[in-house]
């Protein structure tokens, strides 16, 4: 086991910052297509359904990659696995900028999704190894907040590069993809293999649960339904917000890109606030770590439910304000989810993360195709956005009925 001096508080939060950068790069590569969606669909002559199918392919590949890398993260050293997957998705992001048709772009988005899936098992294995139970929600908030930072930066980068003078959407794909290769170099130079060795779990005299026992337990399925709701609201807005603003409400591309950056600033605020509120409830109100996560998750659901107002809001500041609040709530859901996964088992964090990611990407990815069909038929995005905003309440219900109803299941997570 490492000496305590090697696991100083400063080092732990420094490592969380490095994970934040990885998440930032992950989302920069992911959202390039959404930010250039109008240009890409026009250049390639795509229907809304075909655009949705690009996200469907990404999502199903992400599901497959989650399974593969989830199991690998528990078997291989994260020090080596992490840079491999990050280099893989970075290269595919760059190649996407060199495609010349729908089929080529579909293949690139598929491989991009497969490699991007490896980020989460590696990152959660890392936070589980170096953070104690009380700090994990905050650490996971820092990790997840990189999604917002990447999504804030990318529209501004693309706004610069997608001008007639400096290039097209293709240049922005290549430039964003190249950033990941820099992170790989920094990781290999600055990290050490031994830094990521998790301390041995404390023993309580009770044998740990086997993976098959966890997978058939009520608590696992509570978390599975919870992430289904969280994933729905987050990714529907990620994929379709630019089209909603430009095609649905008539905003110019530059204005939509600027608002997209502001939207992700608010999602970042919500994500960090989730960690801070959780720590405040634990330290100041003596709420248990699990109870604090439940409270924060339910509060985030209240914010996303403001989607109910969208059909009655036209172009203007009130509509934009509501979307900002929805975004804050949407990303606040995820630090809670990651911490619930880490509560399930000491030994199988990578596998459980991968299996849950595979499940949720497999079942939610087709929604983009259905959303596109609905948009083609109704010429509106409103109904889909409303439903997405209400989806996270499924997690509140599932935790009440399944997690609370599964109290007899043995808990083996130590309170390190």
Give residue 9's pLDDT band: very low, low, confident or very high (50, 70, 90): low
Judging by beta carbons within 10 Å of its beta carbon (0-12, 13-18, 19+), is residue 312 exposed, middle or buried? Answer: exposed
* pLDDT given at position 195: 57
Residue-level pLDDT at 409: 47
Residue 194 scores a pLDDT above 70: no
The pLDDT of residue 412 is 42
Distances in Å between the Cα of 304 and the Cα atoms of 35, 217, 247, 311, 312 are: 22, 29, 22, 15, 16
The share of the chain scoring above pLDDT 70, in percent, equals: 90
- Sequence-distant (≥ 6) Cβ neighbours of residue 14 within 8 angstroms: none
Q: Mean pLDDT, to the nearest integer, of 133-146? A: 82
Q: Residue 125's pLDDT is what?
A: 84
The more confidently predicted of residues 117 and 187 is 117
Per the CB < 8 A criterion, the answer to whether 298 and 396 are in contact is yes
Residue with tokens 């604090």: 292
Which SS3 state, helix, strand or coil, does residue 376 take?
helix
User: Which of 149-158, 227-236, 365-374 is most confident?
Assistant: 227-236
CA distance 303 to 182: 37
pLDDT tens readout for residues 42-91: 889 988 888 888 988 998 898 899 989 988 988 888 889 999 999 999 99
- Give the Cα separation of 293 and 273 in Å (integer): 12
Q: Say if CB 274 and CB 136 are below 8 A apart.
A: no
Tell me which residue of 190, 214, 184 sits closest to 122, measured CA to CA. 184
Cβ–Cβ under 8 Å, residues 66 and 350: no
C-alpha closest to that of 69 among 11, 26, 38, 40: 26
Q: Calculate the CA 289 to chain-centre distance.
A: 22
Mean pLDDT calculated for residue range 390-403: 97
Residue 274: per-residue pLDDT: 94
Q: With CA atoms as reference, report the closest residue to 241 among 9, 35, 91.
A: 35
Query: Mean pLDDT over residues 217-234, rounded?
Result: 95
What average pLDDT does the segment 235-240 reach? 89
Residue 168 three-state SS? coil
Q: What is the DSSP letter of 248?
A: I
Q: How confident is the prediction for the chain on average, in pLDDT?
A: 86
**E strand or H helix at 83, and its extent?**
helix 78-96
Lowest mean pLDDT among 199-213, 232-246, 287-301, 346-360: 199-213
Which of these, 226, 240, 231, lies nearest to 365 by C-alpha position?
Answer: 231
Residue 197 has pLDDT above 70, yes or no: no
Contact indicator for 98, 382 with CB cutoff of 8 Å: no
**Is the pLDDT score of 11 beyond 50?**
yes
Distance, CA of 280 to CA of 261 (rounded, Å): 29
Q: What is the mean pLDDT of residues 273-298?
A: 94
pLDDT at residue 2, as a whole number: 43
Q: What is the pLDDT of residue 8?
A: 60
Backbone dihedral angles phi then psi of residue 408, each to the nearest 5 degrees: -75, -15
∠ CA(205), CA(206), CA(212), 5° rounding?
155
Greater confidence (368 vs 99) lies with 99
Model pLDDT, residue 34: 84
How far apart are alpha carbons 248 and 125 in whole angstroms? 41
Q: Give the number of other CB atoms < 10 A from CB of residue 39.
A: 15
Instruction: Specify burial of residue 25 (Cβ count, 10 A radius: 0-12, 13-18, 19+).
Output: buried
Pick 14 or 193 by higher pLDDT: 14
Span 398-415, average pLDDT: 65
The C-alpha atoms of residue 219 and residue 411 are separated, in whole angstroms, by 10
Euclidean distance between CA atoms 24 and 31, whole angstroms: 11
pLDDT value of position 201: 52
Model pLDDT, residue 193: 61
Largest CA distance in the chain: 68
The closest alpha carbon to 310, from 323, 324, 298, 297, belongs to 323
Q: Is 131 left (phi over 0), alpha (psi -120 to 50) or beta?
A: beta
Which stretch, 122-136, 229-243, 397-411, has highest mean pLDDT? 229-243
Mind listing the pLDDT tens digit for each residue in 327-355?
A: 999 999 999 998 899 899 877 888 898 89
pLDDT band at 406 (very low <50, low <70, confident <90, very high): low
pLDDT tops 80 at residue 139: yes
Report whether CATH 3.90.650.10 matches the domain 8-197+209-406: no
- Mean pLDDT check: name the lowest of 20-29, 155-164, 295-304, 387-396: 155-164
- How do residues 301-332 score in pLDDT, each as one tens digit? 999 999 999 999 999 999 999 999 999 999 99
- Domain coordinates in residue numbering, the chain: 8-197+209-406
pTM: 0.75
Res 416: pLDDT: 35
């Amino acid at each position: 086991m490492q000496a305590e001096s090697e696991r100083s508080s400063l080092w732990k939060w420094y490592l969380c910052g490095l994970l934040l950068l990885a998440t930032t790069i992950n989302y920069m590569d992911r959202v390039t297509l959404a930010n250039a969606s109008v240009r890409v669909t026009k250049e390639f002559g795509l229907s809304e359904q075909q655009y949705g199918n690009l996200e469907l392919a990404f999502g199903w590949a992400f599901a497959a990659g989650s399974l593969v890398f989830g199991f690998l993260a528990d078997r291989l050293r994260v020090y080596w696995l992490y840079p491999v997957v990050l280099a893989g998705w970075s290269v595919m992001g760059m190649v996407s900028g060199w495609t010349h048709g729908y089929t080529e772009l579909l293949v690139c988005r598929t491989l991009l999704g497969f490699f991007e899936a490896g980020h989460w098992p590696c990152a959660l294995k890392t936070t589980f190894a170096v953070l104690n139970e009380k700090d994990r929600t905050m650490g996971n908030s820092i990790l997840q907040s990189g999604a917002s930072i990447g999504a804030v930066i990318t529209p501004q980068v693309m706004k610069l590069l997608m001008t007639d003078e400096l290039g097209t959407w293709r240049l922005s794909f290549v430039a964003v993809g190249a950033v990941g290769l820099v992170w790989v170099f920094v990781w290999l130079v600055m990290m050490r293999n031994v830094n990521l060795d998790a301390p041995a779990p404390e023993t309580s005299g009770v044998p740990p649960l086997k993976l098959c026992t966890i997978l058939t337990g009520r608590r696992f399925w509570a978390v599975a339904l919870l992430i289904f709701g969280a994933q729905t609201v987050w990714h529907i807005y990620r994929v379709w917000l630019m089209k909603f603003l430009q095609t649905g409400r008539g905003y110019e591309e530059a204005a939509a890109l600027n608002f997209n950056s502001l939207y992700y600033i608010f999602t970042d605020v919500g994500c960090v606030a989730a960690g801070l509120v959780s720590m405040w409830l634990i330290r100041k109100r003596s709420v248990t770590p699990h109870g604090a996560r439940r409270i924060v998750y339910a509060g985030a659901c209240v914010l996303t439910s403001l989607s109910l107002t969208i059909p009655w809001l036209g172009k203007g500041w009130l509509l934009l304000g509501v979307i900002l609040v929805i975004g804050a709530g949407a990303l606040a859901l995820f630090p809670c989810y990651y911490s619930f996964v880490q509560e399930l088992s000491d030994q199988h964090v990578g596998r459980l993360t991968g299996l849950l990611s595979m499940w949720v990407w497999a079942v939610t990815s087709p929604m983009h195709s259905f959303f596109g069909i609905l948009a083609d038929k109704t010429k509106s995005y409103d109904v889909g956005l409303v439903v997405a905003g209400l989806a996270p309440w499924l997690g509140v219900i599932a935790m009440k009925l399944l997690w609370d109803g599964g109290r007899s299941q043995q808990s083996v997570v130590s309170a390190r």
